[in-house]
Amino acid sequence: MKRYLLLAFALLFAAIYLFPVYWMYATALKTSGSIFKYPPELWPSEPLVQVSRVFAEHDIGRYLWNSLLVASGITAITMLLGTGAAYALANARGAKANVALFLVIVLQVLPPSLMVTPLFVAFNHVGLLDYPRTAVVLATAAKTLAFYIVLCRATFTQVPRELKDAALVDGNSHLGAFFLIILPLARNGILITSVLVFLQSFGEYVYSRSFIATRELQTATVNLATYLSANSADWVGLMNYAGIYVAPILIVFILLQRQIVTGLTSGALK
């Protein structure tokens, strides 16, 4: 009996915590007249699905596409450079490896809003700002790469060393042992960390806001922020926009919830 009472409390806490998410979708279903009622309706009395209207009106597809492109680029660079480095750092011993790991962890904490000034000036010198989405990808990947290496390294340390040694004894090269033995074993950890990197990049704001001047190339965060400051009373439109934007994120989260929690807890403190 006590156990079910605890569950009831747990659900109550979760419901209170997640109220903002509920409120976003509840508002998205209201009419533009009914949101200006006071007291507010906690449940939309005449729900109205306006998703497709808002989607077309604000050309949301274009901006979501930009976000998708940017997030894919960031994730690709991060996985390509990060996986091998995480593996090597999980194996390596000695002063050089310690310095490399230390560098990775410290560079992970640099706030993008502070790094954006020198990056902007440097990218301006070399002409990268003519390719603003590439500039966003390159800058953000420096941030996600460090995060990815730290988490993936924890995954690789869990793969027993003996397996690699056995593969080497069997005549594999280091290259072969990595691709044929180690990578398949660490696959789950790598995939979950990549999903986390992708989801984070999908919501990137600082670099996109600062590097992308052309409206057509903006990501959804930047476009939503512009809309937010220009039409701050159109809450129905804004909450529809926000709801559409985060729907894929929430779906991935619900599907992979357990693995995400495990992935985060295994590497975050190490």
Partner 1 sequence: MLQSGLVKYLRDGKGFEGTLIVAAVLYLLVFAAFPLIYTVVMSFQEVDMFTLGTLVRPFAGLTNYTDLFHRPEFAPIVWNTMIFVTLSIAFQLTIGFALALFFLQDFPGSTYVRGLFLAGWILPALVVGAVWRWIFAGDFGVLNYALQSLGLIDGQIYWLSDPAYALYSVIIANIWLGIPFNMILLSVGLAGIPGDVYEAAEMDGANVIQRFLTITLPMMGPTLGAVVALGVIFTLQQFDLVAALTQGGPANASNVAQYWSWQMSFQTYEISGGATVATMMIALVIVVAVIYVRSVQREQSF
152 binds partner 1 (CB under 8 A): no
Distance (Å, rounded) from C-alpha 164 to C-alpha 176? 10
Question: Cβ 118 to partner 1, closest distance in Å?
Answer: 4
DSSP per-residue string spanning 11-63: HHHHHHHTHHHHHHHHHHTS-TTGGG-SSPPSS-SS----HHHHHHHTTHHHH
Q: Quick one: 118 or 216, whose CB is closer to partner 1? A: 118
Which of the residues 168 through 227 are near partner 1 (CB under 8 A)? 173-176, 178, 199, 202-206, 209-210, 221, 224-225
Q: Quick one: 52 or 113, whose CB is closer to partner 1? A: 113
151 binds partner 1 (CB under 8 A): no
Phi, psi at residue 229, to the nearest 5°? Answer: -85, -20
Q: Which of 31, 51, 120, 131 binds partner 1 (CB under 8 A)?
A: 120
- Please tell me whether residue 231 adopts helix, strand or coil conformation: coil
Question: Cβ 52 to partner 1, closest distance in Å?
Answer: 20
Q: Which of 54, 70, 79, 104 binds partner 1 (CB under 8 A)?
A: 104
Whether residue 39 is preceded by a cis peptide bond, meaning omega within 30 degrees of 0, is yes
Which of the residues 27 through 86 are near partner 1 (CB under 8 A)? 27, 35-40, 42, 77, 81-82, 84-85
Q: Which of 46, 48, 53, 106 binds partner 1 (CB under 8 A)?
A: 106
Q: What is the signed CA dihedral for 11, 17, 21, 24, rounded to 10 degrees? A: 120
Q: Which of 29, 64, 79, 89 binds partner 1 (CB under 8 A)?
A: 89
Distance (Å, rounded) from C-alpha 18 to C-alpha 21? 5
Contacts of residue 40, Cβ cutoff 8 Å, sequence gap at least 6: none
Which of the residues 217 through 246 are near partner 1 (CB under 8 A)? 221, 224-225, 228-229, 232, 235, 238-239, 242, 245-246
Q: Which of 146, 167, 181, 190 binds partner 1 (CB under 8 A)?
A: 146
Q: Quick one: 48 or 122, whose CB is closer to partner 1? A: 122
Distance (Å, rounded) from C-alpha 66 to C-alpha 4? 46
What is the sign of the dihedral through the CA atoms of 241, 244, 250 and 254?
A: positive
